Chains A and B, each alone.
Chain A
């Protein structure tokens, strides 16, 4: 057991820290359009340094870094308050899925533009009738010669309006048992059959979209993992979502806690014992999250990743709830960062697998309890 960084890891950390200091583009702009271009520029700068696909194999433009180095990178980004990268779904989910299940041609074709953010990715899994019960999804893909014709509806599609490619799970064999009749496609978003409509959420923003698909076309060569094999490929994507994003997200909890600490001070509540205890508890939980993220750095990510995702949602919501109490009557005003964060955090225990589904996964696959 050694919880310190090795000399090589320290060297890597110092290199990342120095590079970020030298290239930090400053505060993120407020407008959504500018924000996207800002993050795209940041990703391109990182990619030129070889760090956009840090843990990807070197033959596909990655840096072949260890999982610990990737973790160090996230910690340094958060520490410096550096921006997120624009193509987060392609980097954290789409790329790793293609690396795990794609053909050599697919890797050559799809991976480099993910890294350069020339092609943005989105995820077409959830449907209006299929949320937690993903395998019940109804979007149909029918073979027509060397291509597939897709019709259906997807929802909660982040970045759909910027995306070139959609990780789309569709039903290709309605007669097969429901987990076996699914196929994982990469769908070109730039075609007439795809209509993107923004979905306004409780914060008033439209971070997500609805996707209406009417006879969209997908060539055969854009199937990942083979026809009828969509379920295990989709699980790969979801495991990477929970494990990969969880690390970056837990780092942001620590940053939020530092801001909350300063707000408690300026609100004159530093001596309030109840506030101190609640803060201390959240700090302890954030440390437990961080340690769990390091313990969970395994490849490929397993069902234990579900623990971290659900714990993160609880802690992140807890931080924003304490912040609202610290704000007191100022919480009546919709300005400032915390009211927005408080509202946005309500989605944490729903997006990327509801807490209830994650508890099912842990109960069944880790503890071996019978299926619900």
Chain B
């Protein structure tokens, strides 16, 4: 019984942290999110393909969530998560191809995807794909219209397990979002002075930061448990996934909200980066099942 990552897993995580920090400094995140039409560049995608990231789930769910957490931490705008989710649901993707998942007529990254699948794992063809204004500017969102219904072909594979793995991946990203927002809040609380003292010396502020740590570490535990169960203990995978998504999904939006409060007025400005984390966390909480749905599922699996 131990949570220690293997040497390979630690290397995957540190490589991701370093690569993403170098390629996605805050200025580049803002440029991609707010100015670039597609929201990512071909060079950036090619580099991720070279790193083997689109297929990382083949190494294991734990390996995938380690990178997903780093994507959230860096807030990297990339179609990688959509491609993972599509592949997990069974989308037939050739090397370097991108995928997207359509849920309730909406799909992140559908405009640049080679293959679309729906949440049941069926390939969607011949649909019209139109960009919409999204809450979260770091990912492109599209309305996918299939009216009259276009033919959908069911794909091969274990779609239920794919849904669970995609859900845990999304939860992992929220852990990274929450962790970065917490780091920003703690750093600001140490440096910002009012009434002659750092605001972090006031318990109203420091206790909010302590609460953030509780939620970040709790969310990380839940995500690692679910990822591990998906690879090694299928009988607990479903409840672990619901726990991870409910808890980490909440952490991913509660922590940025509290971090914004710690920042005060500056956190409410467009020029500060915090709102980008707030929006990503909020968007994640509404993707692949929302909190109430997962909590009801937990109750059911617990025998209620």
Which residues of A pack against B, CB within 8 Å?
1-6, 9, 68, 71, 257, 261, 264-265, 270, 273, 276-281, 283-285, 287-288, 291-292, 294-295, 307, 310-311, 356, 358-360, 362-364, 366-372
Q: Of the 9-residue stretches B21-29, B37-45, B120-128, B291-299, which lies at the interface with chain A?
A: B291-299
| Docked-complex contact B1 and A283, CB < 8 angstroms | no
> Can you name the residue of chain A whose Cβ is closest to the Cβ of B9?
A1
A360 to B243, CA, bound (A): 28
Given A277-B292, A277-B296, A284-B246; A356-B207 close (CB under 8 Å): yes
Contact residues in A for B218 (Cβ distance below 8 Å): 285, 288, 291-292, 311
> Can you name the residue of chain B whose Cβ is closest to the Cβ of A295?
B3
Given A261-B303, A265-B304, A280-B246; A310-B214 close (CB under 8 Å): yes
Contact residues in B for A292 (Cβ distance below 8 Å): 217-218, 221
CB distance from B200 to the nearest CB of A (A): 4
A212 to B294, CA, bound (A): 53
| Docked-complex contact A369 and B295, CB < 8 angstroms | no
> Can you name the residue of chain B whose Cβ is closest to the Cβ of A361?
B210
A93 to B69, CA, bound (A): 38
| Interface residue SS majority, chain A | helix
Number of interface residues of B (CB under 8 A): 51
Given A288-B247, A311-B214; A356-B229 close (CB under 8 Å): no
CB distance from B270 to the nearest CB of A (A): 28
**Residue-wise interface mask of B (183-207) relative to A, using a CB-CB cutoff of 8 A (1 in contact, 0 not):** 0001001100000011011110011
Contact residue among A280, A287, A368 (Cβ-Cβ distance under 8 Å from B190): A368
Contact residues in B for A6 (Cβ distance below 8 Å): 1
Contact residue among A4, A270, A284, A307 (Cβ-Cβ distance under 8 Å from B295): A284
CB distance from B242 to the nearest CB of A (A): 8
| Docked-complex contact A261 and B304, CB < 8 angstroms | yes
A34 to B297, CA, bound (A): 43
B142 beta carbon closer than 8 Å to chain A: no
Given A287-B243, A356-B203; A3-B304 close (CB under 8 Å): no
Q: What would be 18 A-B contacts, judged by CB atoms less than 8 Å apart?
A: A2-B228, A3-B2, A4-B233, A261-B304, A276-B304, A277-B299, A287-B243, A288-B221, A291-B221, A359-B203, A363-B200, A363-B203, A363-B206, A363-B207, A369-B190, A369-B200, A370-B190, A372-B201
Contact residues in A for B240 (Cβ distance below 8 Å): 287
Contact residues in A for B247 (Cβ distance below 8 Å): 284-285, 288
CB distance from B203 to the nearest CB of A (A): 5
> Can you name the residue of chain A whose Cβ is closest to the Cβ of B298?
A280
| Docked-complex contact B1 and A370, CB < 8 angstroms | no
**Besides A277-B295, A280-B242, A288-B222, 11 new A-B residue pairs in contact (Cβ under 8 A), listed by A number:** A1-B3, A1-B5, A3-B232, A5-B1, A257-B302, A261-B302, A277-B292, A280-B297, A363-B203, A369-B201, A370-B197
B62 beta carbon closer than 8 Å to chain A: yes
B177 beta carbon closer than 8 Å to chain A: no
B224 beta carbon closer than 8 Å to chain A: yes
Contact residues in A for B210 (Cβ distance below 8 Å): 358-360, 362-363, 366-367
| Docked-complex contact B1 and A71, CB < 8 angstroms | yes
Contact residue among A5, A71, A279, A371 (Cβ-Cβ distance under 8 Å from B201): A371
A363 to B296, CA, bound (A): 34
| Docked-complex contact A359 and B296, CB < 8 angstroms | no
| Docked-complex contact A273 and B296, CB < 8 angstroms | yes
Contact residues in B for A2 (Cβ distance below 8 Å): 1-2, 228, 232
Contact residues in A for B56 (Cβ distance below 8 Å): none
| Docked-complex contact B229 and A3, CB < 8 angstroms | yes
| Docked-complex contact B186 and A367, CB < 8 angstroms | yes
Contact residue among B209, B225, B228, B233 (Cβ-Cβ distance under 8 Å from A369): B209
| Interface residue SS majority, chain B | helix
Contact residues in A for B3 (Cβ distance below 8 Å): 1, 3, 294-295
B12 beta carbon closer than 8 Å to chain A: no
| Docked-complex contact A369 and B189, CB < 8 angstroms | yes
Q: Which of B202, B229, B299 has the most CB of A within 10 A?
A: B299
Given A4-B233, A287-B243; A280-B1 close (CB under 8 Å): no
Contact residues in B for A257 (Cβ distance below 8 Å): 302
| Docked-complex contact A1 and B203, CB < 8 angstroms | no
Contact residues in A for B2 (Cβ distance below 8 Å): 1-3, 68
CB distance from B291 to the nearest CB of A (A): 8
Contact residues in B for A287 (Cβ distance below 8 Å): 222, 225, 240, 243
| Docked-complex contact B190 and A372, CB < 8 angstroms | no
> Can you name the residue of chain B whose Cβ is closest to the Cβ of A293?
B221
B150 beta carbon closer than 8 Å to chain A: no
> Can you name the residue of chain A whose Cβ is closest to the Cβ of B247?
A284
A303 to B57, CA, bound (A): 35
Given A287-B243, A372-B206; A270-B186 close (CB under 8 Å): no
CB distance from A124 to the nearest CB of B (A): 28
| Docked-complex contact A294 and B299, CB < 8 angstroms | no
A276 to B2, CA, bound (A): 31
CB distance from B1 to the nearest CB of A (A): 5
CB distance from B240 to the nearest CB of A (A): 8
| Docked-complex contact B186 and A369, CB < 8 angstroms | yes
Give the top 4 A-B pairs by smallest Cβ distance, nearest first: A280-B295, A291-B221, A363-B206, A280-B298
A294 to B246, CA, bound (A): 21
| Docked-complex contact A276 and B296, CB < 8 angstroms | yes
Contact residues in B for A363 (Cβ distance below 8 Å): 200, 203, 206-207, 209-210
> Can you name the residue of chain B whose Cβ is closest to the Cβ of A284?
B243
A278 to B302, CA, bound (A): 13
B15 beta carbon closer than 8 Å to chain A: no
A264 to B229, CA, bound (A): 28
> CB within 8 Å of A: which of B250-304?
292, 294-300, 302-304
B213 beta carbon closer than 8 Å to chain A: yes
